[in-house]
């Protein structure tokens, strides 16, 4: 009991370690069956036939007993190649056989690579203009790609161009403000939205 209280661990956990003949290594959890596994053969066939719409595929799988969501299908298309197992990689390979789908995936990968490079380079003064020019050039190419999904993806950073350029070239961050807003929302929700402004103000100031 004393050890349990001192270490803040359950008595069963303390007893397990005390009675073990050697250090009990953490058990390796084997991945269990996934909700898509029974339907991968059908997905392979449909992707080979040129169907890549997650919502439409979900409707087909529902008739076969699938109870998941479209995002569970779409997620397979955005995972890094290194995170896919052999079956998932095969499905992604089928998707990439479609020229439009392959173009979308390639442009998305280049965009992510460019953003990571910009984040690494934004403290280097000589690279600031290069970074913003590269992103601007990518947006222009994406907007004129003729692929609706890519054009839609590029529309948001194009509309918020000033904010995107500032994020790449300025050392400041809105993280602190966003964190305080999140904390205030948490306090309000913890009182079920019934707290007055004065009470919220007191709780925020007293916690500071």
If asked whether residues 92 and 112 sit together in one domain, one would say no
Using the predicted structure, report yes or no on whether residue 178 has a pLDDT greater than 70. yes
Answer for the pair 46, 52: CB distance below 8 angstroms, yes or no.
no
If asked whether residues 78 and 118 sit together in one domain, one would say no
Q: In whole angstroms, what separates CA 35 from the centre of its chain?
A: 20
Q: Is residue 3 part of a domain?
A: no
Q: Is residue 15 part of a domain?
A: no
Q: Is residue 125 part of a domain?
A: yes
Identify the top-confidence range among 61-75, 122-136, 156-170, 191-205. 191-205
Give the residue from 45, 71, 96 where a domain finishes: 96
How much of the chain exceeds pLDDT 70, in percent? Answer: 69
State the Cα–Cα distance between residues 21 and 99, nearest whole angstrom: 60
Domain that holds residue 131: 108-169
Q: Is residue 175 part of a domain?
A: no
If asked whether residues 127 and 155 sit together in one domain, one would say yes
- The half-sphere exposure of 165 on its side-chain side, counting CA atoms within 13 A, is 13
Average of per-residue pLDDT across 160-173: 79
Question: Confidence band (pLDDT; 50, 70, 90) for 74?
Answer: low
Number of domains forming the structure of the chain: 2
If asked whether residues 112 and 164 sit together in one domain, one would say yes
Average of per-residue pLDDT across 43-55: 71
Identify the pLDDT of residue 31: 61
Average of per-residue pLDDT across 41-67: 75
State the Cα–Cα distance between residues 34 and 64, nearest whole angstrom: 16
If asked whether residues 84 and 123 sit together in one domain, one would say no
Q: Is residue 45 part of a domain?
A: yes
Q: Is residue 22 part of a domain?
A: no
Using the predicted structure, report yes or no on whether residue 168 has a pLDDT greater than 80. no
Using the predicted structure, report yes or no on whether residue 35 has a pLDDT greater than 80. no
Using the predicted structure, report yes or no on whether residue 116 has a pLDDT greater than 80. no
DSSP letter string, 138-191: HHHHHHTSS-HHHHHHHHHHHHTHHHHHHHHH-S--SHHHHHHHHHHHHHHHHT
Q: Is residue 43 part of a domain?
A: yes
Question: Confidence band (pLDDT; 50, 70, 90) for 20?
Answer: confident
If asked whether residues 82 and 52 sit together in one domain, one would say yes
Question: Confidence band (pLDDT; 50, 70, 90) for 179?
Answer: confident
| CA-wise closest residue to 70 among 83, 46, 54, 86 | 54
State the Cα–Cα distance between residues 88 and 84, nearest whole angstrom: 5
If asked whether residues 121 and 91 sit together in one domain, one would say no
Q: Is residue 205 part of a domain?
A: no
If asked whether residues 155 and 113 sit together in one domain, one would say yes
If asked whether residues 54 and 92 sit together in one domain, one would say yes
Q: DSSP label at 111?
A: H
pTM over 0.85: no
Using the predicted structure, report yes or no on whether residue 126 has a pLDDT greater than 60. no
């Amino acid at each position: 009991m004393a050890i349990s209280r001192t270490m803040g661990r359950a008595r069963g956990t303390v007893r397990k370690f005390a009675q073990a003949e050697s250090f009990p290594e953490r058990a390796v959890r084997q991945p269990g069956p996934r909700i898509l596994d029974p339907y991968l053969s059908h997905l392979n066939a449909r992707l080979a036939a040129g169907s890549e719409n997650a919502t439409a595929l979900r409707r087909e799988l529902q008739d076969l007993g699938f109870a998941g969501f479209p995002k569970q299908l779409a997620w397979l298309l955005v995972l890094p190649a290194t995170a896919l197992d052999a079956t998932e990689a095969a499905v992604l390979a089928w998707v990439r056989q479609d020229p439009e789908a392959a173009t979308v995936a390639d442009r998305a990968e280049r965009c992510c690579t460019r953003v990571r490079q910009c984040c690494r380079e934004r403290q280097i003064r000589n690279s600031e203009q290069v970074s913003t020019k590269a992103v601007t050039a990518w947006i222009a190419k994406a907007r004129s790609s003729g692929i609706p999904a890519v054009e839609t993806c590029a529309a948001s950073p194009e509309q918020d161009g000033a904010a995107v350029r500032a994020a790449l070239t300025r050392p400041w961050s809105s993280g602190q403000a966003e964190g305080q807003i999140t904390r205030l929302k948490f306090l309000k929700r913890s009182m079920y939205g019934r707290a007055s402004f004065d009470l919220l103000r007191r709780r925020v100031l007293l916690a500071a």
